Structure 1
Amino acid sequence: MAYEVEPPKYVRLAQTIQRRIEDGTYAPGTRVPSENQLVQAFGMSRPTVVRALELLKRDGWVESRQGYGTIVRGRPAVVEQNDRRGSEVLARDESQAAGRLVEVSYVPVPARVASALGLPKRAKILMRRFLVEDDGEPAELVSSYFPAGLVEGTELESAEALTGGTRAHLEARKKVRFDHVTERISARLPERAEAELLELPEGVPVLSVLVVACDASGQALQVSDVLLPADRQELEDTYRLN
């Protein structure tokens, strides 16, 4: 799978350890394998292992204890708060959500989506576009894209609102399993159709949250571009200091 920018080795190692903590391989209160063991197990250099552990400590997944080594703390509460956007996109029940399905069609794949899915430029791809509303006002625009191999045998091409969310639908129909999500945030000016749907004045930018949902192997199963009017957003993050 192609990425716009592949995460550094230490980030990929930290993500692997996070998944092992979440699936119970490294249970809370137990020791993480030593640096030597991690070097041998993953074939990475000691500096890479050290940086991965530092990242996990910073984000609250593990902690160092005098005389005990590195101990698993478990999934931090701040992570539960920060990963909601992608989870909401995958679980959104179009038939029940506040808003409306505004478009289902095959479109030229946007560059950022093509990169995430490993598709050539100008390839056509299925897009489902949903306008989320808050008290009748447009709040965000979600454009979700699906690889061709996952469309057949599903209701993704239907112009009717999907029941139960795309994740549940694909896992049931295609027997795939969603494993993790990567979110990339950037700012840009919206295209004309996007601005009209969001009722934005000319020149008002949007925040784009690119949600890349993958299986355990890292293969992208769905990519969603979530657009938020920048003049109505405030980003906040909470993290621990060592």
Structure 2
Amino acid sequence: MEPRHLEIAQDLMEDIDQGRYAPGAPLPTEDRLMELYGTSRNTVRRAMQELTNRGRIDIKQGSGSTVRRYRPTTHLASSAEGEADDERYAAYVRRMRTEQGIEPNQRLRVIVESAGPTVADLLELGPAEEDRYVVIRRCDRYLAGRLWQRQLSYYPRRLAQGSDQGSELMTPEDIQRGTRTLLAEMGYPQTRSWDVVGAKMPSLKDSTLFGIGPGIPLIVHDRLAYSGDEPVRFTKTLMPADRHQLMYFEGEMTPEQLRAGTDLNIYDH
């Protein structure tokens, strides 16, 4: 038999999932829950803490408990017509301005360092030390002063050294036409890619960095892009799961059809 506080927490989670308590709505008071379940205040508080730990409610001293409200931004994880690079910052700004009503900002940093074993294997870098260096373009995106998303793109250093166009990879500035277009101009058109998307609980450092509350995992989106059979870019994107969702699609889509997906909030169902 489950402990009493878990039974109460499960009942309330089902009520939330079935829409009896909408996002932002208050939950019954401690006194009311004690009356409904015939239990102690300590048991009720343990139940509410369980819901907090699972990211389902917010508790404010003196204001009671409310259902946590999620407003994630949908990212197109498939390439769309007219959007050659689905992570272009201009498109991101448009989405955030429309969906959140807040102007985001970003900080770009370029790092050159020896690749770790995983990145070196993915980019098929040579065994010699000088062949294992990569250019990392780190893009941190902020909303209302809070880190919203971190994207790390790894390129073999020889690409940045191979042409004048390649040197753009070394500049900590937004590449307006997108790095996919830049790579094509350098002679490395993207011909294929794969994606792996997963979730993990954040480390203490990640929780502090992103300002992540209890019970919220990090979405990790890895993508390896090829030009022919040659891997040319590995991108890792870190996104708190309460603020982001990914949309994949197949075939030709009209803007209206895409909007139906981008307007969907998975937390409302």
What TM-score, normalized by structure 2, do the two folds share?
0.47
- Listed as ranges, the matches of 1:208-219 within 5 Å are 208-217=220-229, 219=230
* Matching of residue 124 in structure 1 with residue 137 in structure 2: no
Q: Aligned match of 1:227 in 238, 242, 249? A: 238
**Contact 1:91–1:164, Cα closer than 8 Å, also in 2:** no
> Hey, what's the Cα distance between the residues in 1 that align with 2:84 and 2:148?
14
3-state DSSP of counterpart to 1:151? helix
* Matching of residue 102 in structure 1 with residue 85 in structure 2: no
* Matching of residue 151 in structure 1 with residue 130 in structure 2: no
> Hey, what's the Cα distance between the residues in 1 that align with 2:198 and 2:221?
7
- Report how far residue 113 of structure 1 moved: 2.3
Match of 2:177 in 1: 164
> Hey, what's the Cα distance between the residues in 2 that align with 1:214 and 1:138?
30
* Matching of residue 176 in structure 1 with residue 188 in structure 2: yes
> Hey, what's the Cα distance between the residues in 1 that align with 2:224 and 2:92?
21
Higher Cα radius of gyration: 2
> Hey, what's the Cα distance between the residues in 2 that align with 1:238 and 1:169?
25
> Hey, what's the Cα distance between the residues in 1 that align with 2:215 and 2:75?
29
- Report how far residue 222 of structure 1 moved: 0.7
Task: Give the number of aligned pairs.
Answer: 156
**Contact 1:95–1:162, Cα closer than 8 Å, also in 2:** no
**Contact 2:139–2:152, Cα closer than 8 Å, also in 1:** yes
Greater displacement, 203-212 / 84-93: 84-93
- Report how far residue 237 of structure 1 moved: 7.6
> Hey, what's the Cα distance between the residues in 2 that align with 1:221 and 1:97?
23
- Report how far residue 85 of structure 1 moved: 2.1
> Hey, what's the Cα distance between the residues in 1 that align with 2:204 and 2:196?
22
- Listed as ranges, the matches of 1:60-139 within 5 Å are 84-85=76-77, 87=79, 90-94=85-89, 97-98=92-93, 99-119=105-125, 123-133=132-142, 137-139=146-148
3-state DSSP of counterpart to 2:170? coil
In structure 2, the CA distance between the partners of 1:182 and 1:191, relative to structure 1 (3 Å rule), is same
- Report how far residue 132 of structure 1 moved: 3.2
In structure 2, the CA distance between the partners of 1:238 and 1:124, relative to structure 1 (3 Å rule), is closer
3-state DSSP of counterpart to 2:172? coil
Match of 1:7 in 2: none
Greater displacement, 204-213 / 97-106: 97-106
- Report how far residue 162 of structure 1 moved: 2.0
3-state DSSP of counterpart to 1:214? strand
- Report how far residue 93 of structure 1 moved: 3.9
Q: CA RMSD in A?
A: 3.7
**Contact 1:86–1:181, Cα closer than 8 Å, also in 2:** no
Between the aligned residues of both structures, percent identity stands at: 21
What TM-score, normalized by structure 1, do the two folds share?
0.51
> Hey, what's the Cα distance between the residues in 2 that align with 1:120 and 1:196?
36
- Report how far residue 227 of structure 1 moved: 0.9
**Contact 1:107–1:126, Cα closer than 8 Å, also in 2:** yes
1:122-178, Cα deviation, whole Å (9 max, x unpaired)? 943211111234566543211100012211232111122222110111211x11111
- Report how far residue 238 of structure 1 moved: 8.7
Q: Unpaired runs of 5+ in structure 1?
A: 1-81
> Hey, what's the Cα distance between the residues in 1 that align with 2:88 and 2:179?
8
Match of 1:17 in 2: none
